[in-house]
Amino acid sequence: MENGKKPEALIERILDMATDKNDIILDYHLGSGTTCAVAHKMGRQYIGIEQLDYGENDSVVRLKNVINGDQSGISKPLNWQGGGAFIYCEIMEHNEAYIDRIQKAKTTEELLAIWEEMQEKAFISYKIDPKTINANISEFESLSLDEQKRFLTELLDKNQLYVNYSEIDDEDYKVSDTDKKLNRIFYGEK
């Protein structure tokens, strides 16, 4: 397997046995997008879900290549010429954005500024009392930068990494009207 990609011929065989044209294929561990690429070439609809960014092996890059007529895998036997479309959406980050900022911080001062903002706007674990941390901030400052980053990351509620659908009308999240409309359509609301 090249870069962890599954062979398209194997996925084609499985989809051919288990699905019909226009069936919807769900791949909830999308990875590099092999299953959806094969489903696209076979005329199946698909939904792919992925949390990680795979850079040049990312599923979005791969599906764009498929639409542009990529000739790898099962393309030649299927006489794949390209075409079609897909819709790509990202979940709106909340605590995940803080994790990204923490990881990119270069100094303790940056991390302290992030901590100040986290106290106002982030979802901090219910087990944490910010007053206790603030009262002992000198201990935080004595940690190495990597330890400080790990500590701040652990304070965040991991169940709130992204904005929940139930919160899209909360002005604090600044969800655009277009995104609200798309979410409502997705969930079958008017």
Average pLDDT, integer, range 93-98:
94
Cα–Cα separations (whole angstroms), residue 170 to 92, 103, 114, 160: 13, 27, 22, 15
How far apart, in whole angstroms, are the C-alpha atoms of residue 60 and residue 70?
13
Average pLDDT, stretch 22-29? Answer: 93
Per-residue pLDDT averaged across 164-180, rounded? 92
State whether residue 163 is helix, strand or coil: coil
Query: What pLDDT shows up at residue 4?
Result: 56
H-run or E-run covering 172: none
pTM of the model: 0.69
Task: Return the pLDDT at 94.
Answer: 93
Question: In 3D, which of 23, 69, 13 has the Cα closest to residue 45?
Answer: 23
Q: Give the whole-angstrom CA distance, residue 117 versus residue 110.
A: 11
Q: Tell me, what amino acid is at 22? A: N
On the question of pLDDT at 56 being above 90, the answer is no
Q: The CATH number of 2-67 is which of 1.10.3720.10, 3.40.50.150, 3.40.50.12710, 3.40.50.300? A: 3.40.50.150
The 10s digit of each residue's pLDDT in 141-166 is: 999 999 999 999 999 999 999 999 99
Compute CA distances 81 → 16, 32, 72, 190, whole Å: 19, 21, 11, 37
pLDDT at 57: 83
CB within 8 A of 127, min separation 6: which ones? none
The answer, yes or no, to whether residue 168 has pLDDT greater than 90, is yes
- Output DSSP code: residue 23: P
pLDDT value of position 54: 80
Domain ranges of the chain: 2-67, 93-190
- Chain mean position to CA 116: 26
